Amino acid sequence: MARRMKTQEKKEFQKLVDSNNPKPNLLLNCFWAFSVGGLICIVGQFLHNTIESVFKLSHLESTNVTTLIMIFIGAFLTGIGVYDKIGKVAGAGSIVPITGFANSVVSPAMEFKREGFIFGVAAKMFSIAGPVLVYGITTSVIVGIVYYFIR
């Protein structure tokens, strides 16, 4: 009985909290995510096209080179303290592209440098990106096996 009353009280309290919470400006947030995310993709596409035509690489080879350059840009902007400011405005727009992935690896590595290169940098480097890697790689293996059999 007492427990049920507690649950009821919690439900009512959650209602009060929800009604009191500020509402984020979804339209504005979407606009910025779309613009900044789109801009990052335009940069990537521009690099890709340039590499493909200037260095006469195949489509797949220039994809690899573009990925490398975009990761470097993401890591560099994190290192000079700019990427977090971009992320504050763009949200998912700068988290989803590969530059955001670089940011999620470099930022904990920088943060925990004082704990040393083994227990700090190396151990904490994947604290944010780790789950993405684990499930990303696992999923790609499963999809690969399925593809092998139904091809």
Partner 1 sequence: MAVKKIGRQTIKFSSPPSILTTASIVGPKEGQGPLADYYDEVLEDDLFGEDSWEMAESKLLKEAVTIAISKGKLKIPDIDFMIGGDLLNQLISTTFAARDLELPLYGLYGACSTFTEAISIGAVLLDGGFADKVIATTSSHFSTAERQFRYPLELGNQRSLTSQWTVTGSGAALLTSSGNGPVVTYSTIGKVVDLGITDVNNMGAAMAPAAANTIATHLTDTGRGPEDYDLIITGDLGKYGRDIAVELMKKEGFRIVKNFTDCGIEIFDDKKQDTHAGGSGCGCSAVVFCGFLYRQLILKKIKKLLLVSTGALFSPTSFQQGESIPGIAHAIAVEMKGN
Q: Which residues bind partner 1 (CB under 8 A)?
A: 9-10, 13-14, 16-17, 20-22, 24, 78-79, 81, 83-88, 90-91, 94-95, 100, 103-104, 106-108, 110-112, 114, 128
Least distance in Å: CB of 108 to partner 1?
Answer: 5
Is-contact 77 99, C-beta < 8 A? yes
Q: Which is nearer to partner 1, 70 or 106 (CB)?
A: 106
Q: Which is nearer to partner 1, 47 or 106 (CB)?
A: 106
CB of 77 to partner 1, least distance (A): 9
CB of 38 to partner 1, least distance (A): 16
Name which of 28, 91, 20 is nearest 12 in CA terms: 20
- Tokens 């696992």 identify what position? 138
Measured from the CB atom, is 57 or 92 closer to partner 1? 92
Q: 3-state DSSP call for residue 97?
A: coil
* Terminal C-alpha separation, the chain: 59
Q: 80 or 150: whose CB is closer to partner 1?
A: 80
Q: Residue 62 CB, nearest distance to partner 1 (Å)?
A: 26
